[in-house]
Amino acid sequence: MELEIEWAPILALIANFIAGGFFAMLVVQVLKRVTWPNWGKIALSLAVSLVVGLAVAYLAGDFGAAAEDRVITAEELIAISGATFAGATAFYKTYFSGTAWMQRLGEWWVRTP
C-alpha cells in the first residue's frame, strides 16, 4: 500500500505559520494593553490568530469564491488558527520578546495624546 501525500495543504499551513504568524504577532502587540491580565492577552492572541488565519486561507483560495464556494471544516479552522497562533508565539518569543522597539510598539497607546 502506497501512501500518497497532498503537499498543498501542508505548504499552506507552513506559509500561514510564517506570514500569518508574523502579521498576527504585530497586530496583537499593537492592540494589547500592558495593564491587561495574561488571560486577556491570550484571548486577544487567539482571536487575532483566528481572523488572520482565515484571511490567509481565503486569500490562498482555500475556501470561498476562489474555491468554488467550498466551506471550511472545523478541522481546517483549528489547524489554520493553531498554525497562526504557533507562528505568532514563535516569532515573538524567538526574535522580539524583550526588545526595546517591541516594548515601544506595545506602549504606543500610552504615549499618544
pTM given for the model = 0.73
**Residue 68 is assigned to a structural domain of this protein:** yes
Per-residue confidence (pLDDT) for residue 113, from 0 to 100: 55
**Residue 13 is assigned to a structural domain of this protein:** no
**Residue 113 is assigned to a structural domain of this protein:** no
Per-residue confidence (pLDDT) for residue 66, from 0 to 100: 59
**Residue 52 is assigned to a structural domain of this protein:** yes
d(CA 25, CA 21): 6
**Residue 111 is assigned to a structural domain of this protein:** no
| Domains of the chain: total | 1
**Residue 108 is assigned to a structural domain of this protein:** no
Cα–Cα distance list, 59 to 7, 48, 56, 63 (Å): 18, 16, 5, 9
**Residue 80 is assigned to a structural domain of this protein:** yes
| Of residues 109, 104, 71, 94, the one with CA closest to residue 21 | 94
Give residue 66's domain range: 30-103
- The Cβ-side half-sphere exposure at 101, using a 13 Å CA radius, reads 4
Per-residue confidence (pLDDT) for residue 65, from 0 to 100: 58
pLDDT of the chain along its 113 residues, tens only?
677 877 777 777 787 778 888 888 888 888 888 788 999 989 999 999 888 888 877 777 766 655 676 777 888 888 888 888 888 888 888 888 888 887 777 776 666 55
**Residue 63 is assigned to a structural domain of this protein:** yes
